[in-house]
Amino acid sequence: MKTTKTPQRLVLVMFCTITLLGASACGGNSPSAAPSSGTASQPAAATPGSTTMDPGMGASPMASSMGSMGSLAAATIHIKSFAYTGPDSVPAGAMVTVMNMDTEAHTVTADDGSFDVVVKAGTSVTFTAPVKPGAYAYHCTYHSNMHGTLSVK
Amino acid sequence: MNTAVNSGQDPLMEPSGPPGNHGRATAFVLRVLAAAALAVDAVVHVRFAPGYQSAAPEGLGEGNLFLVEAAAAGVTGLYVLIRGSRPAWVFTLIIAGGGLAVLLLYRYIDIPAVGPFPAMYEPIWFFDKTLTAIAQTAAVLLAATALTLHRPGRRKTHHPSLPRGRNRGHDDK
């Protein structure tokens, strides 16, 4: 009896260990997963934390539409009250962080398709600015009244 | 004494003679304007529904709520255009007034997600939103006007759209 149960117990112990590891891993990701399921109710918690973490944002799982990881963000576009505010210009190929301080998701979508990122409520994402200098008009595909321009030098 | 009152034509019902032509025209104008206002309400909500659904998909989703408002406005617009009865005007008042209340609520108050309703706070005005608010306001005012003209005490002649019992004296003849 015992000899036959030992392998089963071993399997059971291994299963429990894997389950616990998996659960803890999921727990670690839960803050980043939360915005996708309930961003509307916790934007305030995400906004302050992300204001000073532009470099770190590159490694954060929150930024689902990353450009190149680990690069310093050269500029930040803020979205607040359904309006964009950002730098007058950014260097070509620079990392641009977009911070959404609204309770709804937005996008930063270039009219010519050069870049397109979705920013959930209370989160930040980073994308790479075009390498070709010029003025890139962008908009929010969800809210057609939102427009902005990114000047690349 | 009540002859003058009793013989007055209700603008919102089918007239029985020349004095009613003015009332008929008034009723027709009110109905067309209300239907047009509700059509604007419906079209704008349908146009914006896909984007807002993506922006706030939690719960029922904002876009789906927009579609509900659009459907209600569309059906009510047709109802008031075709019938012009008191229930039709009451529905117009409820749908347009309710839509306007929700629009203003989420324009000025940051309400978090509640149950199946996502957070829909949008503290701005833009053309289509303003247009919708104006259309809804117009529909509310038109409905209020029609219901005032259409109030039970004014009606003394039979009309098929009247609720039962209101023409009892007339029907008992």
Chain A interface test: which of B54, B108, B114, B117 (most A C-beta within 10 Å): B54
Chain B: nearest CA to A132, how far in angstroms? 30
Q: Distances in Å between the alpha carbon of B97 and those of B41, B88, B101, B133, B152?
A: 11, 14, 6, 10, 22
**Distance in angstroms (rounded) separating the CA atoms of residues A34 and A116:** 22
pLDDT at residue number B151: 73
- Output the pLDDT for position A9: 57
CB B56, CB B120: distance < 8 Å: yes
> What ipTM was reported for this prediction?
0.71
Instruction: Report pLDDT for A105.
Output: 95
Q: In the prediction, which pLDDT does A45 show?
A: 31
How far is Cα A92 from Cα A128, in angstroms, rounded to an integer?
A: 9
- Give yes or no for residue A137 having a pLDDT over 50: yes
User: Which three-class secondary structure state does DSSP give residue A93?
Assistant: coil
Q: Is B47 left (phi over 0), alpha (psi -120 to 50) or beta?
A: alpha
CA R_g for chain A:
21
Q: Which residue has the tokens 């012009």?
A: B84
Reported confidence tier of residue A16, pLDDT bands at 50, 70, 90: very low
pLDDT above 70 covers a percentage of chain A that reads 52
- pLDDT range class, residue A126, cuts 50, 70, 90: very high
CA distance B52 to B44: 12
Q: List chain B residues with pLDDT less than 70.
A: 1-19, 153-173
Select the residue from B121, B127, B129 to test the A interface by mutation, using most A Cβ atoms within 10 A: B121
Q: Which residues pair with A98 in a beta bridge?
A: A77, A125
Q: What is the pLDDT of residue A6?
A: 52
Kindly list the structural domains of chain A, giving each domain's residue range(s) and its CATH number in brackets, ordered by start: 40-61+69-152 (2.60.40.420)
What's the pLDDT score for residue A41?
Answer: 31
Closest Cβ opposite residue A40 in set B51, B119, B129: B119
- Stretch A69-92: mean pLDDT, rounded? 82
Taking contacts as CB-CB distances below 8 angstroms, the residues of chain A near B127 are: 145
From chain B, pick out residues whose CB is under 8 angstroms from the CB of A140.
Answer: 51
User: What is the average pLDDT score of chain A?
Assistant: 67
pLDDT, position A56: 32
Instruction: Give the per-residue pLDDT at B1.
Output: 37
Amino acid A87: pLDDT? 87
Judged against a pLDDT cut of 80, whether residue A139 lies above it is answered with yes
Residue, of A146 and A38, whose pLDDT is higher = A146
CA A28, CA B41: separation in Å to the nearest integer?
A: 45
The secondary structure of chain B as a DSSP string is --HHHHHPPPTTS--SSTTHHHHHHHHHHHHHHHHHHHHHHHHHHHHHHHHHHHH--STT-HHHHHHHHHHHHHHHHHHHHHT--HHHHHHHHHHHHHHHHHHHHHHHS-PPPBTTBPP-------HHHHHHHHHHHHHHHHHHHHHHHT-GGG--S--TTSPTTTTHHHHT-
C-alpha to C-alpha distance for B120 and B111, rounded to whole angstroms: 7
First to last CA, chain A: 76
**How far, CA to CA in Å, does B101 sit from each of A94, B93, B119, B132, B147?**
45, 11, 16, 12, 20
Residue A23: pLDDT over 70: no
Q: What is the DSSP string of A10-48?
A: HHHHHHHHHHHHHHHHHHHHHHHHHHHHHGGG-HHHHHH
Q: Are strands A73-80 and A147-152 parallel, antiparallel or unpaired?
A: unpaired
Return d(Cα A47, Cα A52) in angstroms, integer. 10
What are the domain boundaries of chain B? Answer: 10-149
The reply to whether B119 touches chain A by the CB within 8 Å rule is yes
Q: Using alpha carbons only, what angle is made at residue A130 by residues A124 and A134, rounded to the nearest 5 degrees?
A: 120
Q: Which residues lie across from A131 on neighbouring strands?
A: none
Nearest to B55 among A37, A38, A143 (CB): A143
Q: Which of A28-42, A99-113, B60-74 has the lowest mean pLDDT?
A: A28-42
Q: Out of A37, A38, A143, whose CB is closest to B51?
A: A143
Q: Note whether B126 and B103 are within 8 A (CB).
A: no
Closest CA to A130 of A96, A76, A92: A92
